[in-house]
Structures are given as C-alpha cells and as structure tokens.
Structure 1
Amino acid sequence: MALQTAASIETLAVSVYQTAAGLPFIQNGNKTVQTFITTTTTQHQAHLKAFNAAAVQSGGQPQNNPDPKYKAIVDQALPTIKTPADVVALALTLEDVAAQTYTANVSQVSDAQLRQLFASVAPVEAQHRSVLLAVQALLAANAANLVTIPVDPGKLPAVAGSVGIPDTFYPTKNASPISEGAEQ
C-alpha cells in the first residue's frame, strides 16, 4: 500500500507539472522555470516507475491513478491558477506531501530495499521543495528576474537565502497514510 500511495502522489505530480508546462505564462516565460519543470517532471516519472516496479516486485499491483486527497486539492486549485506564483504554491503542496510521506515511509516499511527506495526519493522531493520556496520568495519580492542559473548572489534579497531549508529534520506530520492512494 505504501508503494501504491507513493505512486499515486507521483502520478499527480507528473500531471501537475505537465499541466504547468502548458500554461502560456510558463511556455513564454522564464527559461530557468521551464528547465526546472522539465527536469522535475522527468524525476517524478522515474519515481513513479520505481514505486510501481517495487509494488509489482512485492506482489502488488501498480498504481497509476492520482492520490484522491491531493487530486481534490489540485482540481480545486487548477481553475484559479493565473500566475507563476500560483503554480509554485500548488507544486509546493505536492512536493511537501511527497517528501513528508516518503520520509515517514522509511520507518514504516520493513524491507531494506523499500526503505532505501523511500530514503533515496524523499530528499529529491525535499530539494524540489527548497527550490520552489526560493522561487516563491523571489516572486514575492518582485525579483522574478533573479530566478536564474547561475545566479548572482549579491543581487538576491536576504529572504531568498533563508527560506529554502526551513527544517533541520524533515517533518512528517502531514505525511499521507500508507493506504491513502492504494487500490482497495
């Protein structure tokens, strides 16, 4: 069930990033953001594939349906998306639940290979969240022009350097239950 729930979160993340990539203000906007979306989508597709392969290898079924709890949140948010900041806010929700869920799953599964899988994917999702937090801070500071790679650190507002890693230890209080996205 943990693998199916993880796959359901990844399915939804892929869908959200693909939808975001098609938005005119993303397509015609910041090239760094476009690259982030493309790279992140590819990583989520790889995670989905890995979670489904592990589910099958463990005797279960693959899960290609989106997480029902977060799909409802996405369905509510999509019609209201008008700006890059709106996309960032939605992506942050998904990246955070993914990182929290996979961090929690490390201690909830008994198989060493599954623990390793969750432990290897969780920090990738946390990294996505860190990047999005920094982008969100730049957008809020009216500094979208500084969303670049490489970046000139001397031009960054102070907030951009302090928001990316807000937690010493990744929290799990909002982790999805193991069965949330599993096929019943």
Structure 2
Amino acid sequence: MGASRIDYRLLEQLTEKSQDLNSTAMRMTGSALGEGDVRVSREDVMALQTAASLENLAIDVYQKAAGLPFIKNGNKTVAAFIATTISQHSAHARAFNAAATRAGGRAQTAPNPKYAAIVKKALPGIKGPADVVALAITLEDVAAQTYTKNAGGVGDGRLRSLFASIAPVEAQHRAVLLAVQALLGAGRPELIALPTKVAALPAAAGSVGFPEGFYPVKNASPISEGAVK
C-alpha cells in the first residue's frame, strides 16, 4: 500500500473513536444493568471479578507508566492517550464491580494475579516507551480476548451486553498501541502526533492496528483467574 493510500487520520481517529466507543459502552452498561438486582450464577460473578482484576492491573500499570520520565516528559500524544486510557479502565472496573456486587458477590479490588506476576517481572526491564507499549499491548489484548469470550459465555443477557460493550474499547486501545509500536519500531517517534504527517507514514500504518479479521479468544483468562477467594 503506497503512501497515497494511507488513512492519514489513523491515530487521530483511533484516539477519538476510543473515547466515543467508551462513552457508548458506558451508556450500554448502565442500560444493561438497569436498576434492580442482578441474579446470576456464581460462575458469572467470578467472570465479573476476573474482569475487574484485569482492569485494576491495567490502571496500576498505566499510572506507573505515566510517572516515568520518558513518558511524562516525552511524546505528548502518548501521554495524553495514557491519561485517557486510565480514565476508561477506571470506568470499566467500576462497571464490572457494580455488576458483581449487585449480583451478591464481592468487588474485586486486587490486580489479576497471573498478569501481576508478569508485570512485576517485566518492570525492571522497562527502559523506554517501546517497553511500556509492549507491556500495555499484552494487558489490553488479554482483556479484549477475555471479554469477547465472556460475552458468549455468561448466562445472563445483561452481562453479555456488559462484556460485549467493553471488549471493543480494549481492542481499540490495543489497535492504537500497535500503531504506536510500529512507529517506534521504525525509528519514527516524531510521527506519533496529531495531526499526523501523512506522507512520512510507513505503508503499513493503516492496517497494523488490526492484524486479525476476527478477535481471537485463545488467550482469554479463565473466569476463576481473578475471582475473589
């Protein structure tokens, strides 16, 4: 694909659509949960708690990243994306925990244990923005895969709507990060900007954020992984 065919609005659109998609997800979540009690199975509650654990970990990682000198004093577009993403993950965590508690379960305030261990191992090796982006991609991907799978796995229709509305937001986060990763890998961090310098973008810039036609679920977290013990 030549430079003339690149969607020069890619990063701008992905950032804007992430905010729009999240707003839509939160509206759908409120509608799905309604005002009454949510009576679901123990397995469904565990799925909600595991989802909250993934959100809790994402918040913690992004907050730590935001404080790193090469992020805080680095690319302004990346820093703005991180700030927006923290807000969105916080909203997701509240939504999952609200559903869990209304169903008679306990809120999950701890991070996902499996991926917390992965993050702990990875943190000492973080030396620059590319390392932060790679770690964030891992977390966004497992969240998107988990919620995609849960959308078809939970028994209550309202909870299916909850997972189905939030999964695309996490996939959108990953898409933005993949685009950023590609530009960092090409040695062109100056192109991570709004507005984007169209002619300078690599040919793959318009497609690198969407490597799959259908979102995979093979790496989805099992419902018990982050459940409250």
Same fold (TM over 0.5): yes
* Structure 2 match to 1:19: 64
Matched, 1:108 2:153: yes
Segments of 5+ residues of structure 1 without an aligned counterpart are none
- Indicate the RMSD between aligned Cα atoms, in angstroms: 0.7
* Structure 2 match to 1:62: 107
Q: How does 1:60-139 map to 2 (within 5 A)?
A: 60-139=105-184
Q: CA shift at 1:81, angstroms? A: 0.4
CA distance in 2, matches of 1:10, 1:125: 10
Greater radius of gyration (CA): 2
Q: CA shift at 1:109, angstroms? A: 0.5
Deviates more, 1:112-121 or 1:150-159: 150-159
How many residue pairs get aligned? The number is: 184
Which of 108, 125, 148 is the aligned partner of 2:193? 148
Q: CA shift at 1:162, angstroms? A: 2.3
CA distance in 2, matches of 1:153, 1:125: 26
Please give the per-residue CA displacement for 1:8-45, whole angstroms capped at 9, x wherever unaligned: 00000000000000000001101100100000000000
Which of 207, 216, 222 is the aligned partner of 1:162? 207
SS in 2 for 1:95: helix
CA distance in 2, matches of 1:166, 1:59: 39
CA distance in 2, matches of 1:153, 1:56: 48
Letter in 1 for 2:49: Q
CA distance in 2, matches of 1:129, 1:171: 13
Q: TM-score scaled by structure 2? A: 0.79
**Fraction of identical pairs, as percent:** 68
Segments of 5+ residues of structure 2 without an aligned counterpart are 1-45
Q: CA shift at 1:149, angstroms? A: 1.6
Q: TM-score scaled by structure 1? A: 0.98
CA distance in 1, matches of 2:117, 2:225: 13
Letter in 1 for 2:51: A
Q: CA shift at 1:56, angstroms? A: 0.5
Letter in 1 for 2:187: N
Deviates more, 1:11-20 or 1:150-159: 150-159
CA distance in 2, matches of 1:162, 1:154: 16
* Structure 2 match to 1:172: 217
CA distance in 2, matches of 1:158, 1:3: 40
Q: CA shift at 1:154, angstroms? A: 2.1
Q: CA shift at 1:159, angstroms? A: 2.5
Q: CA shift at 1:113, angstroms? A: 1.0
Q: CA shift at 1:152, angstroms? A: 2.6
Matched, 1:53 2:98: yes
Higher-RCO chain (CA-CA 8 Å, sequence separation at least 6):
2
